[in-house]
Amino acid sequence: MSELIETLWRQFGVEAGEHFDAIERLLSDPSGEAGGAERVAALFRSFHSLKGAARAMDLFAMEAVAHRAETILGRVRGGTLTLAGPVADGLLEALDALRGLAELAERERKDGKADADLLARLDALGGGPDGAAAKPVPAQPAPPPAKLHDNDKLLVRFVGLLHDGMATLTRALDLSVLDEEGFRSVDDTAERLEIACERLNFLPFADVFRRFRAGMSDRDPDAILRELQALTLASARVGRLSGRDAGSAILATLLADHNAQALARGTNRCLELMADPAQVHGESAGEELAGQLDRLAATLDILSLPRAAALMRVVGDVVRRAAPLTHADWPGLLADSRAMVARLSHQATLDPPEDLDSDACAALEDRLRRFVDAASAAAESRRPFTAEELTAFGLDSGLLRFLSPDSAADLRAAVADPTLSLYEVTAFLESSAEVASGFVAWLGSAVRAITNWPEFIDGKTWLRVLVAAPPDVATLQAGLRAINPAGDLLHLRRCAPDLEDHAEETPPEREEPATDALPATLTPAPPAPAAPMVPPSSSIAAPASPTPVVQPPAAPSAARAPAPTSGGVLRVPGEVVDRFMSRIDGMVLLSGELNATANDLRLEQALAALTDRLGAGDPALRAVQEAVEHHRRALLDLDAQLSRSVDRLRESALDLRVVPIDTLFSQFPRVVRELARVQGKTVRFLVDGGDVRIDKSMVETLYDPLMHMVRNAIDHGVESPADREAAGKPGQATLSLRAVQRNSRVVVEIADDGRGIATEAVRAKAVRSGLIGEEDSHRLPPDALHDFIFASGFSTAEAVTETSGRGVGMDVVRNAITRLGGSIAIRTREGVGTAFAIDLPLSAAIVRTLLVQIGDQVLAIPDRCVEEVCGFTADAFRVVSGRWTVLRRNRILPVVRLADALGFPADGPWPPQGEGQRLIVVLRQGDRRIGLEIDTLLRRGDLFVRESHPGLADVPGVGGVSLLNDGRIVIILDGDELYRLAAAAQRQSAETVAAHL
């Protein structure tokens, strides 16, 4: 890849140089006749080629200059300008500017800036920035045609044969009255011509005759007419290129009636198809319409109605470019186009047929052209940003993942608008409904919100919103202050485009007491962008001179189109969904508490005790007892129904949070190419299943693990092209990223066809790292050995490379995935490749957990890791093989105190003593079990996982945090990690036991 880019830059330099020299020569040639068509054409081509080359290399400034020069030459070619005086001077100036820009580009490999004055002068000469587009220049006068065939004699004979055969061929149109002899003579003529075409190597022409004959034998009048029409056009071309009459005119005359009928049929069918825009949407209907319009155009060509023919082709072309047809302007344009077809169907039947009005056609064509430009510009503006682009706007590149296609288009529009600047507002909306609603109203009225994302600051989730607004900080500040007079919940920061601007514009710091609420020490340091972020305390100060944030890299002449409206889709601000979710979250928690109350063991026990006491006693009391029992059952019933209903509500609410996984996947192709390039590897990157939808919070959490695995694959998995070829594999490696949805889970697979994981190396490393004994290691199957790569701190990479060496290890990857409620598995074969399969729940936002308490701390154990909870009396605790165990269903279950496993201070004696039951949570991992002794069992609960504080995330065993309805913090434990800790604590306690005995 890097070689290719080097080659391209070299070729660009050489080619641009050649064109510069050619232009210089042509412009300054004193002997050259001022407007010589050849000279103008050559100049036009050179500027045109420069434009194309610049565009290919992303040199927008060069493209802009070359485009204007080309426009001027287009006008010279069209005769509305002469190549002298100011025009020639302007072109020379353009040439100098282009040379400078090309030199800069070659030296620094980057785009420069075009001189605005020069562009304006060139625009003036070319008749406005849209000069070329608005008035297409006529094609250059045709030079003498190239020879059609080497064998002149043969060609002349063929043309004669063609000319004389036309009348015979048209008899095929009266197939019904043609007798057998007549049929034979037509077919013979066609066959002779077909053979002649073959001999002359006029293959498509031969095809026309073959299809014509097939149409005859099928007795298909429409096919016959279609081929005769094709023959008319082809013979006209032969005539033009050979300079002889090939009979095209005769054929056209003979076909006149049929052509008129074909025209009527064609226009009718088009009118039908164009009546309903929804129909044209469909691929096949669009295809049919485009085909009909083409055929209509061909018929119009024969009828010498060139204006209408051209229009039909333009409409056909637009229809064929199916993409823009979802654009809001399309139905109107389609209706107007249809009106023109209707007019044509009338005018073409007049005698003589009348062509469409030239001005009306030109106007419609112009609108269609602008429509396509606008629609494709809209599509283009929706393409993802690069990290560099964002950094250049003074934005954090981490923002990439929060830019949907729509918000990307919004951001592009804002950046291109010199009256707007970019700001970041950091808001805390959880504590005051007034501030929240005021802020939402402010977002909707005072500024243009582009995107928003959550930011975890000081244990709270803040909302960051990227907005575009006029560069008037004072007004913005005042607006925010009106919503939040204390100024502690809303903060404004201007996004500085780059270092120089930033230095110029940041005035001396001004005291802003309000910002004290967000002390810098508590603000997690954002990933450092190229430009330093303004710390909150100075960010609120107004810039001294309100200059536009950023100059658009190239102001393309195409008008910015409004973002296409998506029919039937409701766009809701992210924060509304989040608020909605948190309310449902609250409801889920309440439902859980109801469940706990209804299922309270004490109630059941009390009722049971009551039943015992009553025995066969007082029948009236028995009736009361039965009524209470009945009510308890009804309550349990209602509870069951309510939880099902809440579950369904939660599921549909979760749908609001899901996004196509493509928003995640689409961030990788660029990275893959860049990594492969850096390492001199060639990698084909396949992405599949991008339409699978996952929770939007997972997109964020999955990015790092996926990135790590992609890097690993390229860094360690994929071999160099030479090594691959030596191993008998194609030099280009394949890396694929795919997602499949299975019921309520998503499986993401990353697979490469690289060298695979060396089982022996993993085994040796595992032994060296003390993860397993040498002898045991030989007994393990390869699959089990491969699992060691997920062990903490494990890495087989011998050298620390630039790419994955400093990233997180596979243990961190697995932890991140486990935290999402997922699991990861590996399949690998040496020499063949490696595949990781990540199995994830559709939503990681809410997990079902078992809530337990040790001391004052509430802990949540993921439900999927818990087999059951059982009670044991103190005497059930026994030492077996030096470990504390209990006997559960006749099997020995190792037990440990949860507090000990987590390293929390524990109260009371161990093993338990005294009366009463001790509760054991049976934790499972695969087919292994361990018991955790707990103080108090609270209930099962669905928890809405909040991003945990970075400091907490590193604590072993902790998967995240959540809040209870009473505001207490719950620590959500990580099941696998908890198992590991419990097993380790057990081993340790075994040592203590051993020491005691």
Partner 1 sequence: MAKPTILLVDDSVLMRTIIGDIVRSDEDLDLVGAAENGKVALEMVKTLKPDIVLLDIEMPEMSGLEVMEHLSLTSRAKVIIISSVAQVGSPEANEARALGAVEIIAKPSGTMSLDLAHKKGHDIVVAIRRAAGLPLRS
Q: Which residues bind partner 1 (CB under 8 A)?
A: 1, 4-5, 7-8, 11-12, 14-15, 42, 44-45, 48-49, 51-53, 55-58, 109, 133, 136, 138-140, 142, 145-146, 148, 201-205, 207, 233-234, 237-238, 240-241, 294, 297-298, 301, 309-310, 313-314, 316-318, 321, 365-366, 368-369, 372-373, 383, 386, 669-670, 673-674, 677, 684, 688
Nearer to partner 1, 148 or 832 (CB): 148
Q: Strand pairing partners for 828?
A: 834
Contacts of residue 274, defined as CB under 8 A and 6 or more positions apart, other chains included, come to 280, 289, 334, 335, 337, 338, 341
DSSP states of 65-92 as a string? HHHHHHHHHHHHHHTSS-SSHHHHHHHH
DSSP characters over 442-475: HHHHTSEEEEEEEEEETTEEEEEEEEEE-S-HHH
Q: Do residues 498 and 547 lie in contact, with contact meaning Cβ atoms separated by under 8 Å?
A: no
Contact 874, 909 (CB under 8 A): no
582 versus 732: smaller Cβ distance to partner 1: 732
Q: Which is nearer to partner 1, 60 or 884 (CB)?
A: 60
DSSP assignment, residue 863?
Answer: G
Instruction: Go through the chain and tell me how many residues it has.
Output: 997
- DSSP single-letter state for residue 540: T
Minimum Å gap between C-beta 294 and partner 1 is 7
User: With contact defined as beta carbons under 8 Å apart, do 106 and 530 qualify?
Assistant: no
CA–CA separation, 921 and 870 (whole Å): 7
Give the shortest CB-357-to-partner 1 separation in angstroms: 16
The SS3 assignment for 140 reads coil
The distance of closest approach from Cβ of residue 139 to partner 1 in the complex, given in angstroms and rounded to an integer, is 5
Give the shortest CB-5-to-partner 1 separation in angstroms.
7
How far from chain centre, in Å, is Cα 760? 40
Nearer to partner 1, 72 or 468 (CB): 72
Taking each helix axis from N to C end, the angle separating 85-108 and 2-28, rounded to the nearest 10 degrees, works out to 160
What is the DSSP secondary structure assignment for residue 599, as one 8-state letter? T
Write down the least CB distance from residue 39 to partner 1, Å.
13
**Closest distance of CB 558 from partner 1, Å:** 11
What is the rounded distance in angstroms from the CA atom of residue 313 to the CA atom of residue 322?
15
Nearer to partner 1, 368 or 922 (CB): 368
Q: Which is nearer to partner 1, 546 or 553 (CB)?
A: 553
**Both structure tokens of 43:** 């100049």
Enclosing H/E stretch for 854? strand 846-854
Cα→Cα distances 703→90, 449, 473, 698, 835, Å: 51, 25, 35, 8, 18
- Judging by beta carbons within 10 Å of its beta carbon (0-12, 13-18, 19+), is residue 93 exposed, middle or buried? middle
**CB 505 → partner 1: shortest distance, Å?**
30
Nearer to partner 1 (CB atom), residue 135 or residue 343: 135
Minimum distance, C-beta of residue 716 to partner 1, in the bound complex (Å): 21
> How far is 822 from 955, CA to CA, in rounded Å?
19
Looking at the Cβ atoms of 49 and 599, the one nearer to partner 1 is 49
109 vs 510, which CB is nearer to partner 1? 109
Q: Give me the least distance between CB of 806 and partner 1, in Å please.
A: 22
Nearer to partner 1, 587 or 678 (CB): 678
- For 501: left if phi > 0, alpha if psi spans -120 to 50, otherwise beta; the answer is alpha
Instruction: Report the nearest approach of partner 1 to the CB of residue 803 (Å).
Output: 15
In this structure, the strands spanning 917-925 and 928-934 are antiparallel
Nearer to partner 1, 204 or 781 (CB): 204
Give least dist CB 842 to partner 1, A: 22
Q: Closest CB to partner 1 among 246 and 702?
A: 246
- Minimal distance in Å, beta carbon 57 to partner 1? 6
